[in-house]
Chains A and B, each alone.
Chain A
Amino acid sequence: MRPEPPDIPAPAEPISTVEAARRVGVAPSTLRRWVEQDLFTDGPVDGQWPPTAIAHARIVARLRDRGHSLQEIRTATHEGRLAFGYVEELLPDTTGVYTLREAARRTGLAPKLIERIFAAVGFPTGSADSLSEFDMEMLEHISAVLGAGFPLMALMQLIRVYGQSVAQVADAEVRLFHLYVHEPLLREGVPGIEMAEQMNDLTARLLPLASPVMDHVHRRFLHHFVEQDIVGHMESDLGTAGAELGRLRVAIGFADLAGYTQLTEQQGDLEAAGVVERFVANVADTLPEDARIVKTIGDEVMVVSTDPAALTDWAVGFQTLVSGTTLPRIGVHAGEVVYRDGDYYGREVNLASRVAARAGAGEVLVTRAIVEASGRHLAFEYIGEVKLKGFDEVTELFLAGLPEE
């Protein structure tokens, strides 16, 4: 069943320019001038002002009081920045005060390298031309890490991962704030000034939390992965001996929900998103210690482990624990992959994905590499040699499961 749409209050009666001016606290002629100056995206129609336009006019009035020009307000309005403009007041000043040449001199990094670093982080092109004090601090840290002997190739990958991850965090913060704070206030018809103040207050409380939380989560994960790496070196069933630099031997699992598209059609996007959220949470809650979720794409989860037997056992055990109309289908394969920018690439990753795509609802399909690494407690039913999409050679596939008692 589709979820009920949220209650949206009926639009209020339009208001005359004189009354609107009274509510905003400016002269009617001022309001008319603002309209002529194109400061509204949703302005008055036939001299009648909708409440949203009055709310916007209040924000314009406030900005004018604070010394912003009509040109600035017009640009901000049309760029859609106005609703979130208050956030910028809470963020540190990132105005550029150093040239690229000055930055290079101070940090000891070549100008070209600084440009590469900015591109790797994901900053817009040309942003390395003018650098703020915070940019300089970041570059000095990077310079120190390079000076300590960390390879540039690895550092650039790390910087790309930082950029992508933190960009995702910032994007999520703004989007979730918009969806769950800004939108509900708009729907409630909260006046602009009051809304801006509420959002300002909430943002001011949230922002100082973000860095300590990320710092703590980062440290916790570092601890976990350092331990895992040490144990992996000692116990890895696959080993990395013989693998080229930057390549790893791992077990790769892909799991998705069979019938997800149909579920979305039948129950709507929100309900289907809830099913995916529970599925991903169930995977995360039950994975063995040496496995981790690399990424999720829609309803698909990619998992990597240094222990192919444990990952396969998990997959078989997980299938016994799940229920519902949309059962997972899981494919597991093992091989040598390229590790780059926090992700895993290569033929073996593609193969694992194709194996999963061949699995049916509730099934675990595996390759011979997995059968050979797994214990005898599992049953492997030979499916046959299968030509997987995009591969010239056939792949032997097996259905993994619990043996009959």
Chain B
Amino acid sequence: MGLEFESDKQFRDAMDLVFRLMDEDPDMGPKLRDADVPQRFEFEDVDMVLNVRSSRQGEPGNLHWEWTDDVDWEPKVKMKMSAETAVRYFQGKENIPIAIARRRIKTGGDVKASLALIPITKPVYAIYRDALEERYPHLVV
């Protein structure tokens, strides 16, 4: 059975949570900032868009993200997926090449740049599952 979100807001909170975990992690945060790969995530079924980039000089943290397309930067990598695929992916339950082949993730832009992010973001899987267990246990896969 698929994941069920109580509301769109809950999905958004669950995504904010994972990006906050990566942003604040002393290892992942700086690495993602240095990788400097602006990404656009489109969650088709809930009709939401998230744009994320490295923090700029003077901005707090390592990552900056906004839930809109109205941003002053261009994404390098574009990914379309369902809300469920997104939450599964950040728990390490969605293999990116397989998800691309099976059309669960549709890609655009310089998708090759995302390959470098895979090993950097792997540590978030376990941390994210723990955090979900605490706040939204029904979203743990």
Contact = CB atoms under 8 A, between A and B. Distances in A.
B96 A322 contact: no
B112 interface: yes
Contact of A320 (B95, B100, B102, B119): B100
Nearest to B115: A321
B97 interface: yes
A321 B98 contact: no
Contacts, number: 59
A314 interface: yes
Contacts of A288: 95, 98
B126 interface: no
27 contacts: A281-B119, A285-B118, A285-B119, A286-B97, A286-B115, A287-B95, A288-B95, A313-B97, A313-B98, A313-B102, A314-B95, A314-B97, A316-B97, A316-B100, A317-B95, A320-B107, A320-B111, A321-B97, A321-B114, A322-B112, A322-B115, A323-B112, A323-B115, A377-B101, A377-B103, A402-B100, A402-B101
B99 interface: yes
Nearest to A317: B97
Interface string A388-405: 000000000000001000
Nearest to A310: B98
Contacts of A281: 119
A323 B110 CA distance: 10
B122 interface: yes
Interface of B: 95-103, 107, 111-112, 114-115, 118-119, 122
Interface residues of A, number: 23
A94 B97 CA distance: 49
Contacts of B99: 317
Interface of A: 281-282, 285-289, 310, 312-318, 320-323, 375, 377-378, 402
A168 to B, nearest CB: 24
B98 A314 contact: yes
A375 B99 CA distance: 13
A402 B98 CA distance: 11
A208 B87 CA distance: 41
A314 B96 CA distance: 8
Which 6 residue pairs are nearest across A and B when measured between Cβ atoms? A317-B97, A323-B112, A313-B101, A317-B100, A317-B101, A313-B98
Contacts of B101: 312-314, 316-317, 377-378, 402
A388 to B, nearest CB: 25
Contacts of B100: 316-317, 320-321, 402
A258 to B, nearest CB: 16
B112 A377 contact: no
Contacts of B96: 286, 317, 321
Nearest to B103: A377
A159 to B, nearest CB: 34
Nearest to A324: B112
A285 B98 CA distance: 13
